[in-house]
Structure 1
């Protein structure tokens, strides 16, 4: 790859703002499985220029999937901006995109009842169709660009581990189907014995399967980022934005302020997800940060080689728990556990005891969450514990990532009210991989003067003053959709 000049720096100690109060950028951060695997990449600490430019046509805050894909859409469409700067507070793509469990799984029925209560049945149906379109676009892009990101395409399984959960799930499935939802691509197995056989999970009561993907998300972002750099993008890592203020020198411009100086731009994009309130304090009411854990587990012989897992999973478990499982079928076979497992509530209680923890992704190996992963593998995967304990087998470590919970469970896409020239793509509620590959292009369509209808996105995702007013006084930061 051709690279611009790059400089490595120590982390800034600059603070940002949450709800009008300063909070520190965490000095340390856990390294996810994805971040561990790219320590030699010069993109991690890339700075295109030693000094910040004074001005830019567009400034994007955040270098994850949202920010990078937004830049790509701007630079590859007709009449691209002459200059774009991306600011990243720490390493490139070290936020949610670089910390998830690597699952791009479009929800194809399960969220229908929840979304119906929030936005009505028609919008709920559109949301599920939108997620399938998002997955399709991601797969098409990776294949067309021949991106080296461990893409796997295969059957993902939703597995109900009790009769009660199976009944609830089929009720939602049937309701979606009755409303006209497309389900002919979903295989439903109601026989417990057959569900156990297909899923390899003891105690499985029913399952639903359809196509989904796993991948190395950091490498996909790096590929897109390199295209942008080749087209003139200026990437500045370790440059946390402290505020965005109206320019006193140029009418209609905004000063994007950092400890290293300010860049003035007419257009600013917040691709900041959980950290949005740090630079847009009013959004503390609408996007709430919270840490989630992912676990890396090296499978034993019974689940290696010719016996390796061949599906990704959403395991519906007790107490509303959901294990998102990525066995990296087409790569190294390491099994990654994410989602909201039954002990995630204990992590939430720990975080709520100190608000500063909500932004801190240095947390690792939170034992109750790891215990739940151990319990699932020991009780449900037949033969998992047959081997004697040995170094290099079993749970290795876990890491934290910060999810941006939305006050109505849906991301915010569009203009920032009362701030002309400011745009946002954030609040993905733990489900960004199933949204971003359509939301970022949609946002750019709006930025270029298009209508919402031209974005092709569900109407309920549009950020409007009316939507904010509706949820302002009664936010519902429900558990994430995974």
Structure 2
């Protein structure tokens, strides 16, 4: 080879490397620009979620009062699982204390049309994947407390649905199975799971090495191991609308729900009793307490949080299993497909008598063009990413092995029914924001507010809303009522006792935590 050929080849290599660095820099700059721009209002025409079909309470879908109330004690922005938990907690606690309280819920779109109406339907805490991160940040004792808080959601939500007879929510305990493609990730999980047997003994799991896992769960030889444990599954939208229906029936006159009423701005120009004004396209409503239960959209009305948290467009699909019976577990099993650290898909199956219930499969975040970076800082759920959706449509035959091939005569082929997107929230330290907001965060609070009025938040669930949101919202209701030190009796969906006995203080968004947070630190969490 001539010297000129070597030089030319070296130049091509350098040029390719330089171009790669430039492309990475442009990708990063675009990401930072999106994050800094911050959240918008929810898109008026989102992709259609399977969960929103055939609503059990059609009158709630776009419920509105004839006229927007002028004043309320509490205004909750957001009608998903957090808003429902906050409202239920407030109303039950006010009843216990013989205090009358009025609440209005403001929702930008149809009822429960945000993340709760778009997620995977999993009540699944995975401490064997998150415990090491929590221990490194908070120490063993607090990592155990945070883990137990997440695990407790399974009991709370299944107990709530059973005792309140929310049958349409399809809430149930399942055996969940994590299937691993990567040996190192599986080995790390095995080590952590072994340690958790002592630290969190209630989290019981079983480990299966490659050959045993492939045989037991009828999966392909690409699976290097499996870990099974207890989790839950449900129809989230139907749980939440069941709660709203119950509250409207039990507390007439105390609560109204105003769908398709986006809050445009908030100021502090009301009265001394109701200092905060929410301006909507239907008029103005004033309140003593304002609750931000908007998850990823929190930055719209709290712009100071835009550099502390951001949005991520996630993807879900509904698939008819066709000939696939998924071992005939009839909705009693769920799965996660683990490709590597923080890279996974998640899957549940709706209950059925013959094992052919619809498959609900989500994930695929790292399959997008820029390995999920192009989906961060996005609040538009009116579109889906084509590559991610293609991955979700095609992954199941790769994972699950079957004696009969799809498409053979007499077989019903599996097919994609629907695919949609939803916006989840990412926070700088990967934990939710809960509690009373400092005026420095709201940029309000120096005018007519008194110590008896304030703004509150429960948001930022990092894709784990079903094992954070219900009890975070419930705890926030207790805080607003000033009942933190009360020993409150247990009830359906409520653990009982004093707040600090079950609610981790690490989730409170105090000034010290706020100052430490930077959304760009999220890279250190991954």
Alpha-carbon deviations, 1:376-412, whole Å to 9, x = none?
A: 3122211288121888732223100000111110001
The one-character-per-residue Cα deviations of 1:429-453 (angstroms, maximum 9, x if unpaired) are 1101001222122111211223486
Q: In structure 1, what is the Cα distance between the partners aligned to 2:268 and 2:109? A: 25
| Matched residue SS, 1:317 | strand
Counterpart selection for 1:459 from 505, 515, 519: 505
- Name the SS of the counterpart of 1:97 in structure 2: helix
Measured in 2, the distance between the counterparts of 1:246 and 1:286 equals 24
Secondary structure at the counterpart of residue 232 of structure 2: strand
1:349 is displaced (CA, Å) by 3.9
Aligned to 2:471: 438
1:112-127, aligned counterparts within 5 Å?
A: 112-127=131-146
Query: Structure 1 residues 324, 344: closer, same or farther in 2, change over 3 A?
Result: farther
Match of 1:196 among 205, 214, 218: 214
For 2:413 and 2:383, how far apart are their aligned partners in 1?
22
SS at match of 1:42: helix
Q: Which moved more, 1:21-30 or 1:133-142?
A: 21-30
TM-score by length of 2: 0.80
Q: Deviations over 1:236-289 (max 9, x none)?
A: 000001122112433562111211111111111110100101111111122211
Q: Choose 182-191 or 49-58, whichever is displaced more.
A: 182-191
Deviations 1:52-91 (A, max 9, x none): 1110011000000000111111112223543100000000
Q: How does 1:48-59 map to 2 (within 5 A)?
A: 49-59=65-75
State the Cα distance separating 1:40 from its structure 2 match: 7.4
Distance 2:407 2:313 in 1: 33
1:59·1:87 contact (CA, 8 Å) conserved in 2? yes
Counterpart pick for 2:191 among 156, 171, 191 = 171
Counterparts of 2:56 and 2:47 in 1: how far apart (Å)?
13
Q: What is aligned with 1:3?
A: none
State the SS of the aligned residue for 2:227. Answer: strand
1:308 Cα offset (Å): 5.5
Q: Secondary structure at the match of 1:285?
A: coil
What is aligned with 1:5?
A: none
Mapped pair 1:412 → 2:433: yes
CA distance in 2, matches of 1:369, 1:276: 26
1:157–1:207 contact (8 Å) kept in structure 2 = yes
Alpha-carbon separation, structure 2, partners of 1:31 and 1:479? 31
Change (3 A) 1:318 1:376: farther
Aligned ranges for residues 367-378 of structure 1 at < 5 Å? Answer: 367-378=386-397
Identify the structure with the greater helix proportion: 2
Segments of structure 2 that go 5 or more residues without pairing to the other structure are 1-34, 440-444, 446-452, 486-497
Instruction: Please state how far the C-alpha of 1:327 moved relative to its aligned partner.
Output: 1.4
Give the 3 Å change call, closer, same or farther, for CA 469–392 of structure 1 in structure 2.
Answer: same
Mapped to 1, the partners of 2:310 and 2:357 lie a distance apart of 34
Q: Find the counterpart in structure 2 of residue 158 from structure 1.
A: 178
Counterparts in 2 of 1:165 and 1:22: CA distance versus 1, 3 Å? closer
The alignment status of 1:256 with 2:256, answered yes or no, reads no
Q: CA deviation at 1:301?
A: 1.0
Single out whichever of 82-91 and 206-215 deviates more from structure 2.
206-215
3-state secondary structure, aligned to 1:302 = coil
- Is the counterpart of residue 35 in structure 1 residue 52 in structure 2? yes
1:73 aligns with 2:106: no
Contact 2:88–2:474 (Cα < 8 Å) also in 1: no
Q: Secondary structure at the match of 1:396?
A: strand
Contact 2:124 2:232 in 1 (8 A): yes
Summarize the Cα distance change of 1:31–1:375 in structure 2 as closer, same or farther, 3 Å threshold.
closer
Asked whether the equivalents of residues 89 and 237 of structure 1 are also in contact (C-alpha less than 8 Å), the reply is yes
Indicate how the Cα distance of structure 1 residues 250 and 185 shifts in structure 2: closer, same or farther if over 3 A, else same.
closer
Q: Distance in 2 between matches of 1:392 and 1:224?
A: 37
The question of 1:360 aligning with 2:380 is answered yes
CA distance in 2, matches of 1:417, 1:298: 48
- Mapped pair 1:294 → 2:312: no
Contact 1:160 1:166 in 2 (8 A): yes
Work out the CA distance in 2 between the residues paired with 1:22 and 1:114.
Answer: 28
Instruction: Provide the C-alpha distance between the structure 1 equivalents of 2:122 and 2:99, rounded to a whole number of angstroms.
Output: 31
Partners of 1:234 and 1:120 lie apart in 2 by: 43
**How many matched pairs?**
456
Q: How far is the alpha carbon of 1:142 from its aligned partner?
A: 0.5
Give the Cα–Cα distance (whole angstroms) in 1 for the partners of residues 210 and 176 of structure 2.
18
In the superposition, relative to structure 1, how do residues 50 and 160 fare at CA in structure 2: closer, same or farther (>3 Å)? same
Which residue number corresponds to residue 12 of structure 1? none
Query: Is residue 313–residue 324 contact of structure 1 (8 Å, CA) maintained in 2?
Result: yes
**Structure 1 Cα separation of the partners of residues 380 and 56 of structure 2:** 21
Which residue pairs with 2:238 in the alignment?
219
Equivalences for residues 88-167 of structure 1 within 5 A = 88-147=107-166, 148-167=168-187
- Which residue of structure 2 lines up, in the alignment, with residue 339 of structure 1? 363
- Residues 363 and 392 in structure 2, CA contact (< 8 A), matched pair in contact too: no
- Alignment TM-score, normalising by the size of structure 1: 0.87
Q: Which secondary structure does the structure 1 equivalent of 2:522 belong to?
A: coil
Question: 1:187 and 2:232 equivalent?
Answer: no
Shift of 1:475: 3.6
